[in-house]
Amino acid sequence: MRAAMGSAYIRLRRLTDSLQDPEKVARFQRLCGVQSSPSHEERETQEAAGDGPSRHRGSRHQNGLVENGAAGCSEKKEKMQAQRRNSLTGEEGQHFIIRNRLLFYLFTLGTELGNELFYISFFPFWIWNVDAQVGRRVIVVWVWVMYLGQCTKDLIGWPRPPSPPVLKLEVFYNSEYGMPSTHAMAGTAIPLSLLLLTWGRWQYPFFFGLILAIVWCTLVCLSRVYMGMHSILDVVAGVLYAVLILIVFHPALDIIDNFNLTYKYAPLIIISLHLALGIFSFTLDTWSTSRGDTAEILGSGAGIACGSHVSHMLGYLKEPSPDTLPFPIPPITVTLLGKAMLRVLMGLVVLLLIRAVMKMITIPMACKVFGIPCDDVRKARQRMEVELPYRYITYGMVGFAVMFIVPYMFTWVGLH
């Protein structure tokens, strides 16, 4: 028995070591057309021939420079291109080229499905135009998945794949640990929870929803390996971890949502719980981008829950009768699309204004309260006393606006 367990442990260890091998990440990148940059002379030869590959620099969202090296450029443009080529450095001065633009843009889209821009666009769109009840519950899953994922990263403390041999196409999150991939966790939990929560509530083929969820998850997971930010093991662990969290939380979503809406002291408990979780996460490790992201997620979750409570208490949340389920998918008309786009544009303007105003207020206020010099804002924001209240309050107000302020505005202007 002991020998069998020892043998199983050895096989498991070999499997994890194999999945964590950075060479596998590098091989996948080469397979997809990501290669180390050739020498300066070779670049000049390629450009003179007019078929030089696209060059990209690692940045927050892979907004690398795309150059074709075509002949006949103006002198000013050539100078600008030369200056940019000299700055095409990734982590540790790396240079790389992209030989397959289609895969680059596809995987850039995949990695954006786990970034703030997607969340602040997708969740409000779903809540304002599709189904607020499903949106609230998906956000509960998202908050717990991301929080547990970020905390687990800091507790395990495994670094991201080393470079070289891996080429880092994205460096903004490189200060964070890698195990598990929170992009993979969100890319698994969001589409699966949407499928589980909408099936039986809306009329659509289950097979279509399942295929969409699989494609979404696969695209996000492969994008993290393509970008050089995670090993295969990080991604696999993220998927399995998200499924486990979803198994635990999905049966409780009705209870959680009903508590948020109806319990008299729900806002006080929600704010206190999310704030306590934020303080705990900030004590796990030294500063990294994950701390601010965690505070943003917790603040957004608290704001959404509190906004839902206020809307329910004032009678603005009207849930349909169970007899009307499942809902038919309405025909896509110009009027429907026009109203949806108008809601999104008006709502996002309000959200961005609230975020900007709260940022201007909370950072100086936190610096003043805790006696922290505010001359260097970037340095001040890395202090827990500033970053936690700034992120928590700012994104808490954004979440509150998503569920209460903006829908009330829609009612007032006749867009509800």
Residues noted as catalytic: 183, 230
The contacts of residue 135 (CB under 8 Å, 6+ apart) are: 123, 126, 127
- Residue 190 contacts by C-beta under 8 Å, 6 or more apart in sequence? 138, 141, 142, 216
Q: How far is CA 367 from the centre of its chain?
A: 28
Q: Which residues fall within 8 angstroms of residue 382, CB to CB, at 6 or more apart?
A: 287
Q: What is the DSSP letter of 201?
A: T
d(CA 262, CA 272): 17
Q: Are 139 and 123 in contact (CB under 8 A)?
A: yes
Please give the distance of CA 187 from its chain centroid, rounded to a whole number: 8
Hey, what amino acid is at 282?
F
- Quote the CA–CA distance of 69 and 81 in Å, as a whole number: 9
Count of CB atoms situated within 10 Å of the CB of 128? 23
Type of residue found at 365: M
Q: Report CA-CA distances (Å) from 234 to 114, 221, 252, 333, 337.
A: 15, 10, 27, 43, 39
Q: What are phi and psi of 59, to 5 degrees?
A: -150, -170
319: left (phi over 0), alpha (psi -120 to 50) or beta: beta
Contact between 308 and 136 under an 8 Å Cβ cutoff? The reply is yes
At what angle are helices 334-370 and 116-129 packed, to 10 degrees? 130
Give just the sign of the alpha carbon dihedral 60, 61, 62, 64. negative
Q: In this structure, are residues 189 and 242 in contact, taking their beta carbons and an 8 Å threshold? A: yes
User: What single-letter amino acid sits at 193?
Assistant: S
